[in-house]
Amino acid sequence: MLKVYWGSMFAQKSMALFREVLRARAARKKVQCFKYDDGRYAKREIVTHDGLALEAQPVPDTDTLVAAVDPDTEVIIIDEAQFFDERLVQVANEWADAGRTVIAAGLDMDRYGRPFGIMPALAATAEEAIKLRAICVCCGDEAWISYGRATTTTEQKEIGGADKYEARCRRCARKGPRATAVEVPRFMR
C-alpha cells in the first residue's frame, strides 16, 4: 500500500507520520523512517513543528534511500518527499506492489502555488492521498498555501520553517505581507 499525506506547511504532516509509526510498531511491523537531508532541526530525526521527534535516517536522494531500506522492512516512512526526484514515485510503487507499506509526506505546493516536485504523481498513484490543512495565521480559516515571507529567490526549493513561511488561506495569501494575526496554538503551526 502507498499512502501520501500532503498539504501546506504546519498542517501536521509529520505528526501524521508519527502516528503511523506508532500504529505500525503496535502491530509489531518492522519500520524504517527516512527524511530528506535538508539540514533543519535534528539531523537524524523527523521533528514536528511542536517538537516531537522520531528517529529517521537522513538521505539526500532516491538511490541512497533505496540502498538504506532493509530487505525485511515492512513499513517505509518518508518525510519531505517533495524534495526527492521522480524515481521515488516508481520505487514507492514497486515497494507497494511487493507488499510493503509506504507512507510519504510532503508539501503539495510551493510558495507560489505551483505543484511541488513529485507530490502530484506520488499522490495520484497512492491508494490513499490525504490532504491536510493548517490554520491561516492571518484570519484563522483553513490554510491553502505555505506563504513565503520576504524572500528574494524564485527557486522552488528554499528550506525553512516558521522563520521563512507561514500558513495562509487563499484570500490572505493574495493580500501580501500581514499587519495583524490571529493567535494560532503552537501545536497547529
Q: Quick one: pLDDT at residue 152? A: 56
Q: Whole domain around residue 26: which residue ranges?
A: 2-133
pLDDT value of residue 156: 45
The C-alpha atoms of residue 122 and residue 102 are separated, in whole angstroms, by 11
Q: Is residue 78 part of a domain?
A: yes
How many other C-beta atoms are found inside a 10 Å radius of the C-beta of residue 121?
A: 16
- Burial (Cβ within 10 Å: 0-12, 13-18, ≥19) of residue 152: exposed
**For residue 54, is it within any domain?**
yes
Average pLDDT of the chain is: 86
At 60 the pLDDT is 94
Q: What's the pTM value of the predicted model, to 2 decimals?
A: 0.84
Query: What CA–CA distance (Å, rounded) separates 56 from 143?
Result: 28
Q: Check which CATH number belongs to the domain holding 10 and give it.
A: 3.40.50.300
The rounded Cα 167 to chain-centroid distance in angstroms is 14
Residue 157 resides in a domain? no
The three cell numbers of residue 109 are 505546493
Do the domain assignments include residue 165? no
Q: Which three cell numbers stand for residue 152?
A: 528574494
The arithmetic mean of pLDDT across residues 53-81, rounded, is: 96
**Residue 21 — very low, low, confident or very high, per pLDDT cuts 50/70/90?**
very high
DSSP annotation of 20 reads H
Read off the C-alpha cell for 88: 521515488
Rounded percentage of the chain residues whose pLDDT exceeds 70: 81
Across the range 90-94, mean pLDDT stands at 99
Q: How many domains does the chain have?
A: 1
User: What's residue 139's pLDDT?
Assistant: 92
Residue-wise pLDDT tens digits, 144-171: 998 865 555 555 455 545 556 899 999 9
In a domain, 85, yes or no: yes
User: Element (H or E) spanning 152, and its range?
Assistant: none
Q: What pLDDT, on a 0 to 100 scale, did the predictor assign at position 175?
A: 84
**Rounded to the nearest 5°, which phi and psi values hold at 93?**
-70, -35
Catalytic site positions = 80
- 31-65 pLDDT per residue, tens: 999 999 866 554 777 777 677 788 999 999 999 99
CB within 8 A of 78, min separation 6: which ones?
34, 35, 65, 84, 88, 92, 102, 103, 104, 105
| Residue 188 counted as domain residue | no
pLDDT of residue 178: 63
Judged by average pLDDT, the poorest of 82-91, 132-141, 147-156 is: 147-156
Query: Residue 57: what residue type?
Result: Q
CA dihedral 153, 156, 158, 161 (to 10 degrees): 120
Inter-residue contact 136 to 164 (CB < 8 Å): no
For residues 24 and 74, give the distance between their C-alpha atoms in angstroms, rounded to a whole number. 9
